[in-house]
Amino acid sequence: MTKGKQMENLSGTLLLGRKDVAALLTLDECIGAVEAAFRQHGLGNTQPPKVLGMPSLDGGFHIKAAMLNLPRPYFVAKLNGNFFYNQQRFAMPNIQGLILLCDATNGYPLAVMDSIEITIVRTGAATAVAAKYFARPQSKVVTVCGCGNQGRIQLCSLCRVLPIEHVYAFDLDETRARAFAAEFSRDLQVEVCGLQQLEGAIRRSDVCVTCTPAKRYFVHKEHVSAGTFVAGVGADNEEKQELDPRLLAASTVVADVLEQCIQIGDLHHAIAQGLVRPEGVHAELGEVVAGRKPGRTSQEEITIFDSTGTALQDVAAAALVYEKALNQQRGTRFWFSGTQA
């Protein structure tokens, strides 16, 4: 390691709040960084990412960890609390936590940053990458199920890679769906309609994305037309479920990380019911991005992206934020050891 890097490592830990992260992380850059991370994983250049979950009253915690060489080696551990009644009960974010970014050559804590913005944006970025390879290129109609922060970034991400012209917005809170429709009709200059009935909208859609805390599937096999791309984003623990297991059994399924999806994704439920076997899953997304397996192979096949959220995405986004923060001299330095270089 060069003397310059040694001095950088001794210059304290960079603390970055949510406003800092939001100012530094753009969606387009994140999509590129996440795609590159999946490519490295698909080429076998990364260690398998890890996840640990622990339930709590009305929510739970998870820790996700991974390493990437970008070309500098980084390690990330993200601790998130997911409590889906926080907003209505306490006026707090439903998902909140911290990311620790370390130098993977010596363990030095380079940065501690708020995780909310990174979790939101990197999740949308992964859907954009999957849609690039598995949605029909001419896809124009999308149904978004769940009109919170994640629904917003999912729609923005899909609009980056597909020629979206019409959007159906569904949420159990009809007021939120109407507000979502009004906001994006104005901001994206596309037609967005709030929904009360989901079934017909999915049938008319080229793309359906689900980002809810549902514990029972609501997208039925019979709802989905030939050729549709479905991104299941909400199921990130073993209790959550959005997609009919029969739909997964009848479709081409791609996992963000197969081992993780087997444990906590919508795929988990299909396997538990004996409808899908792990070896029947088409690919991990990284294998397709790396060119080792094909993406969509026909106009008629239904393709499903089981997105459980991997720490590979977190490393890619956090490293991007850190490097831009250094260049822009943003954030606050802190010496956890009590010594200052």
Quick: pLDDT tens for 162-214: 999 999 999 999 999 999 999 999 999 899 999 878 999 999 999 999 999 99
Mean pLDDT of the chain: 93
Q: Which of 3, 5, 19, 78 is catalytic?
A: 78
Quick: pLDDT tens for 37-58: 999 999 999 999 999 988 888 8
Handedness of CA 187, 310, 268, 296 (dihedral sign): positive
Give me the pLDDT at residue 171, please. 95
CA 74 – CA 232 distance, rounded (Å): 28
- Name the CATH superfamily housing domain 3-118+312-331: ornithine cyclodeaminase, domain 1 (3.30.1780.10)
Residue 186 vs residues 25, 64, 180, 306: alpha-carbon distances, Å: 23, 36, 10, 30
Give me the pLDDT at residue 91, please. 87
- Domain borders along the chain are 3-118+312-331, 120-309
CA 49 – CA 55 distance, rounded (Å): 20
Cβ contact 126:313 at 8 Å: yes
Give me the pLDDT at residue 89, please. 87
pTM of this prediction? 0.92
DSSP string, 296-317: ---SS--EEEE----HHHHHHH
Mean pLDDT of 82-86: 82
Residue 78 annotated to the active site: yes
**Better pLDDT: 11 or 153:** 153
CA 190 – CA 199 distance, rounded (Å): 21
Handedness of CA 145, 148, 153, 155 (dihedral sign): positive
Backbone φ, ψ for residue 245 (5° rounding): -55, -30
Collapse the DSSP code of 191 into the 3-class scheme (helix H, G, I; strand E, B; otherwise coil) and give the result: strand
Given CATH 3.40.980.10, say whether it is the number of domain 120-309.
no
Q: Is the pLDDT of residue 3 over 90?
A: no
Fold equal for 3-118+312-331 and 120-309: no
